[in-house]
Chain A
Amino acid sequence: MEIIMSILAGILFSAGVYLLLQRQLLKIVFGTALLSHGAHLLILTMGKLNRGDPPILEEGIKAYTDPLPQALILTSIVISFGVTSFLLVLAYRAYRTNKTDNMEQLRGSDHD
């Protein structure tokens, strides 16, 4: 199971990196979203996918799944939500100001 999940995370990473290298700004934002999905899936996988009950204390349960990676993922998800929403607004604002969403036209360092 870990192998399949690792391969899936790898696919998400490669798709994310491919999108990051695109010219259109929105595709790049989608790329970062895929990358963070890949990272979160990887945290879950790296915590070992042993069979067990959800980590809620109840009578008569012997084996639980590892609660720590789930807490780490939850933290990481809200952080990447925050950053992604900021990035989307920034992309919109930059599009309005610079009149382009093409990263090729956003390069260079003109010495104002």
Chain B
Amino acid sequence: MTNLIFLPILIPLIAGTMFVFFRKRLPLVRAGTQIVTILNLAVTAFVTYYVLENGTLVLQTGGWDAPYGIILVGDGLAMSLILTTNIIAVAAAFYAPYSLDKGREEFYFYTFFLILIGGVSGAFLTGDIFNLFVFFEVLLMASYGLITLGGTRQQLRESIKYVLLNLFSSILFVTTVAFLYSVTGTVNMAQLSVRVGYVNQTGILTTIGILFFIVFATKGALFPLYFWMPNAYTKPPAVISALFGALLTKVGIYSIIRIFTLIFNGNIDYTHTFFIVLAGFTLIFGVAGALSTNNIKLIIAYNIIPAIGFMIMGVGVFSELSLSGSIYYLIHDMVIKAALFLLVGAVAIVAGTTDLRKISGLIKEFPFLGWMFFIASLVLAGLPPFSGFIGKLQLLQGAFENGHYVVAIVALITSLLILISVMRIFILGFWGEGMDLPQNTRSIRPLYFPISFLLIFSIVLGVGAEWFLPYIQQIGVDLTDPSVYIDAVLKKE
């Protein structure tokens, strides 16, 4: 049974490698990718259900006992995020054939895509901090391939910055692991947690914690370190932007949640106050960026930043309620950001431009696209029946209960501004006089299926909150108590 948690990593990696050999036979590779992602989704759904019902699964690779070998830990948090990842992967696999040009598809798009999914799943599953670095590099290398794929002038220009920044933060990651190894003598997360708790988190451990935070804040695009993100994410084609916006920054956030609930939880007054202040700035600066531009892809890319602010706010408040709010918001945001990127990709195809000032009156020709965008905007802003609401409600409740009024009010105002920033696309782009549409050779009808698939999941996540909420609240409770994780890994009776 425990071997099953290896499958979300293994299936995409093997499939991605296999497709290297058939790169010119596109019908085969497309159908293969779609089948593999659906299979992977089914397997992950089964394993997630099993983990949520029966508790954490721990796989000791190679049969070595916990602190000595590499372990994979499938707990509720990791498995539910992998399930979300695979839902997005299915949508991307069905969106890609109808939106990418032939050259990009032939030059190993599907291989990079599947390796990215494998790397993300690995980063969520691993229970070893150096192995986390390795999986980060796996997914980053795949993302380097994807971001440069096609090699347009702008893509190359932005990808240099993207690669350099990620290379720098990876080097910082390795350095920080070296410091942590020097202090504690282990790289296994559960044993790290025990040893850090044993010495009661001294000054040097807090310093290492903040260094980790800087590393993951760079990967996750937090306030002072988000400058590289919006441009780099918007230059590649829409489906690649969707994968990046939905998955890459969220792995950074997951790492922050994991490390600061499991390992560095001894000096909360200092580190977590710092998080709340940064979360406030992240919210303000991200939404200011979203309001400042007329490029529709850039508006969505800037909207990634305030969402990350919300999640870090939940980590900063550090109560059961706010952590489960963070997890709920994380899952909701992965899905809705992917859906929004795919939607603006479709808008860019039919309008022939991403400049909002040149787009108008699309609702007459494309009513279904328009109303899907409308619903997606409401989901993003967090209106009550939809999934953004429940996460935000828990986050704000947690913040008010613990006396963090300022950041809670900033978060409320930000929500309003987020709604304005996406409604601008709807009002200016879909209403008004009809524009002269460019003659498209391709129909966008096939793109509706993956987008509506994501939107339906997003609506179910909001409307059917009662089904998901108990599990997610349980994850929040488990996160505040590291002994659950430690006992599962180190098998203490």
Q: Which residues of A contact B (CB under 8 A)?
A: 20, 25, 28, 32, 35-36, 38-40, 42-43, 45-48, 68-69, 72, 75-76, 79-80, 82-83, 86-87, 90-91, 93-94, 97-98, 106, 109-112
In contact, A93 and B164 (Cβ under 8 angstroms): no
Which chain B positions have C-beta within 8 A of A106? 157, 160-161
In contact, B182 and A90 (Cβ under 8 angstroms): no
**Does B179 sit within 8 A of A, measured CB to CB?**
yes
The residue from B154, B159, B170 contacting A112, defined by CB atoms under 8 A apart = B154
A90-B141 contact given A75-B130, A79-B134, A98-B153, CB 8 Å threshold? no
In contact, A90 and B178 (Cβ under 8 angstroms): no
Question: How far apart are the CA atoms of A28 and B161 in the complex, in Å?
Answer: 11
In contact, B164 and A20 (Cβ under 8 angstroms): yes
The residue from B157, B164, B171 contacting A98, defined by CB atoms under 8 A apart = B157
Interface residue count on the B side (C-beta < 8 Å): 36
Question: How far apart are the CA atoms of A32 and B168 in the complex, in Å?
Answer: 7
Q: Which residues of B contact A (CB under 8 A)?
A: 130, 133-134, 137, 141, 144, 148, 151, 153-154, 156-157, 159-161, 163-164, 167-168, 170-171, 174-175, 177-179, 181-182, 187, 231, 293-295, 298, 354-355
SS class of chain A's interface: helix, strand, loop or mixed? helix
The residue from B141, B171, B231, B295 contacting A35, defined by CB atoms under 8 A apart = B171
Interchain pairs with CB closer than 8 A, number: 101
Which chain A positions have C-beta within 8 A of B174? 39-40, 43, 72, 76
Question: How far apart are the CA atoms of A39 and B171 in the complex, in Å?
Answer: 6
A111-B355 contact given A46-B181, A98-B156, A106-B157, CB 8 Å threshold? yes
In contact, B168 and A35 (Cβ under 8 angstroms): yes
Closest residue on chain B to residue A112 by CB atoms: B154
Given A72-B177, A93-B148, A94-B160, 8 other A-B contacts at CB below 8 A?
Answer: A39-B175, A42-B178, A47-B178, A48-B182, A75-B134, A82-B141, A94-B157, A111-B295
In contact, B153 and A97 (Cβ under 8 angstroms): yes
